[in-house]
Structure 1
Amino acid sequence: MKNEGLYVSLAFAALALASPCQAQQTSRQQNSTPQQALDKRQDAFQADKARGVHATYQWELSGPNGGEWWLSVNDGTYKMGRGKIDNPNVTFAASDEDWVSMSNKTLKVPWAYLTGRLKIQGSHSLVKQLDEIFP
């Protein structure tokens, strides 16, 4: 159970998840929707770290700006889209507001996880790999 919080933190450091420290963030536009948070992550993709990785990730976000998003990593490439993916290896669930807050670093990921505002199902080793693929 202790490692789950660490892996969750790593995953969000990757997907919401690798922006500058909060002091520097104020000079940049904050994400206001989950879609913006996920779109912003695409530039951070590290193809070399994704070689040999075959994994699928699902986000299930509740709230007015919520919805479902997926990510598929396949041997150095990735695809991302809106909707559901069959049999994801990892599923993240949170509210749209909490996801955006984690993305903007105003809600700490470990705290969100420990208080039940973020739920994760699936392979924790793949959550950790996600941090390496999207630093």
Structure 2
Amino acid sequence: MNTVTARDIFSGMKENFIKDAAIGMQAKVTYVLHGDDGGAWTLAVKDGILSVDEGVQDGVNATVTMDADEFVKIALGQGNPVAAFMTGKIKIQGDPFLVQKFLGMFKKPENM
């Protein structure tokens, strides 16, 4: 069984991006992931266009901090983001509602 990493998920985000869900939105969210295969990535959406950059950027609307394994589970539809947030597995600095909107802008990665 291939192990999917957070890097794999971020690498495929543009192809799993639902452009229509982001029309009129302008926001930046940074994900800081701890543990094996962790790292930081910043997603920026502006008028239906997504950019994915490795690293932390200034001027973000929210920063999401969590374990890389938990991120992968949620991205693959195997974890519950609300439960993870409520139990402290996900920490959000900034606008949690914006982070929830971001979740709705991506379809579940396939072939992973």
Percent same amino acid among aligned pairs?
Answer: 28
1:120 aligns with 2:97: no
Classify 1:32/1:126 alpha carbon distance in 2 versus 1 (closer, same or farther; 3 Å): same
Which residue is equivalent to 1:34? 6
More displaced stretch, 48-57 vs 119-128: 119-128
Cα RMSD for the two superposed structures: 2.1
Q: Number of aligned residue pairs: give it.
A: 107
CA contact (8 A) 1:61 1:93 kept: yes
Classify 1:64/1:131 alpha carbon distance in 2 versus 1 (closer, same or farther; 3 Å): closer
Runs (5+) with no aligned partner, structure 2: 108-112
Structure 1 residue 104: deviation in Å? Answer: 3.1
Bigger relative CO (Cα 8 Å, ≥ 6 apart): 1
Q: Among residues 65, 88, 103, which one is paired with 1:93 in the alignment?
A: 65
Task: Please identify which structure carries the higher strand content.
Answer: 2
Structure 1 residue 30: deviation in Å? Answer: 6.2
CA contact (8 A) 2:34 2:66 kept: yes
1:80 aligns with 2:52: yes
Per-residue deviation, residues 19-45 of structure 1 (Å, max 9, x unmatched): xxxxxxxxxx76521011222332222
Task: Please identify which structure carries the higher helix content.
Answer: 1
Query: d(CA) in 2 for partners of 1:50 and 1:134?
Result: 10
Query: d(CA) in 2 for partners of 1:30 and 1:113?
Result: 27
CA contact (8 A) 2:14 2:50 kept: no
Runs (5+) with no aligned partner, structure 1: 1-28
> TM-score, normalising length from structure 2?
0.79
CA contact (8 A) 1:30 1:104 kept: no
Which residue is equivalent to 1:71? 43
Q: Among residues 42, 51, 74, which one is paired with 1:102 in the alignment?
A: 74
Letter in 1 for 2:6: P
> TM-score, normalising length from structure 1?
0.68
1:43 aligns with 2:15: yes
Structure 1 residue 71: deviation in Å? Answer: 0.5
